[in-house]
Structure 1
């Protein structure tokens, strides 16, 4: 068995979450970062790779297109074509060492998960006022922007609106603080169109669960949303 094949068994394993696109991107980036598929090398054939990851070929193609747009892979046609890792990988975080960016990644992700799933649950438990509900709806609508330049800001505002719906000033401040740290990490990775589409759908589910007063559902929906972002951050930065 070749080195690529044997090492790939550990990386190209079935995805486990509801964020198939994001985790597929993470797995492909892991393979590239770990040298399972080094610069200039070809990734396994699409049919084989989709089967090993346990995702549809449509999802795999979306992930490959996203990585191609970000400069990590390129597609070649012809008899010896396929998807190849680029010879020179793009810098991460504007040239900052990846180790520096990744050092506190898990700490930030852990804190964010505790705070934001808790905020979604607490907001759903509370009897919201008409003003609270309108604030959430407006923030959700604004977060649905297709303008990449506005996406991060409006996404942040929605997450803060959810925290504000808890009526806890301390929790809202804590979510704001961790969001600053998260945005520093997000600014170091590319915006992927498919992930933005997924985020919009997940945002709608989170807000819907809050508005109907479903604490457990709101927590689950927020956890799924955060897991998708975490997968991309780990893939690009770890």
Structure 2
């Protein structure tokens, strides 16, 4: 039997522990949990609701929830205690990054969404040369096989390759600029294996749609991918 959780503010709990969307279930679960911690819905030292209740509230599987809790434990936001009065307890680490102004974060995320969804759509609409197609596949392979130390670099390279495939230098320059600003945010986030695996799967979907010439699918796939990253950024930093 799960230990009883500490009482939650019902209004805040309903607002934050609401069902997530299926496309980025892990990332949005992380976002909701981090928001609950930062807003004090579950205060430092407080015990999170049992897994069964959280998975039901969030509309995610127990596997997804446990992956999120494991990532939060590794980042120092929660700790697991065994025994009759055990459970998952909140603790804010001393290294927890200071929240950034929400307006600054949203400015970067909105600009990125506008530029990169458009870039994916335009790239898929063009008749790509064999050289460009090989470059996209190569960047995808590099990101998919990169270790933790090199993931950010190969991820940036893949997104820039998509922008370059539009053959619009001004767009490529704009994507490079927003990526520089984005990387400053990403540097404050832990690299979470479950998220990297999910991102790589989404990268493949995006590149497949571009190479297939399906502009609508490319735009939608990129939008879903960016939403997952945005959820983590908002959760950790906003």
Please state which band the TM-score falls in when normalised by the shorter chain: over 0.9
Q: Deviation at 1:92?
A: 3.8
Alignment of 1:52-63 (within 5 A): 52-63=57-68
Q: Work out which of the residue numbers 59, 77, 85 in structure 1 matches 2:82.
A: 77
Q: Which residue of 1 aligns with 2:108?
A: 108
CA–CA distance in structure 1, aligned partners of residues 208 and 223 of structure 2: 15
Deviation for aligned residue 1:91 = 2.8
* CA shift for structure 1 position 189: 1.1
Equivalent-residue separation in structure 2 for 1:39 and 1:66 (angstroms): 17
Q: Structure 2 CA distance, aligned partners of 1:3 and 1:134?
A: 53
Asked whether 1:39 is paired with 2:40, we answer no
- The separation in 2 between residues aligned to 1:163 and 1:5, in whole angstroms, is 45
1:9 paired with 2:42, answer no
Contact 1:22–1:229 under 8 Å retained in 2:
yes
Partner-residue secondary structure (3-state), 2:100: helix
CA–CA distance in structure 2, aligned partners of residues 61 and 84 of structure 1: 14
Q: Which runs of 5+ in 2 are unaligned?
A: 1-5
Q: Take 2:14 and 2:73, find their aligned partners in 1: how far apart are those partners? A: 23
> Would the aligned equivalents of 1:17 and 1:23 in 2 still touch at CA under 8 Å?
no
Q: Distance in 2 between matches of 1:74 and 1:5?
A: 23
TM-score (norm 1): 0.94
8 Å contact kept, 2:25–2:60: yes
1:145 Cα offset (Å): 2.7
- The match for 1:68 among 58, 70, 73 is 73
Aligned residue number for residue 179 of structure 1: 179
TM-score, normalised to structure 2, is 0.94
1:98 — aligned with what? Answer: 99
Residue ranges of structure 1 left out of the alignment (5+ in a row): none
Q: Aligned partners of 1:99, 1:152: CA distance in 2, in Å?
A: 21
> 2:206 touches 2:221 (CA, 8 Å); kept in 1?
yes
Question: Contact 1:72–1:90 (CA<8 Å) still a contact in 2?
Answer: no
Corresponding position of 2:54: 49
Relative to structure 1, the CA distance from residue 43 to residue 2 in structure 2 (aligned partners, 3 Å threshold; closer, same or farther) is closer
C-alpha RMSD of the superposition: 1.4
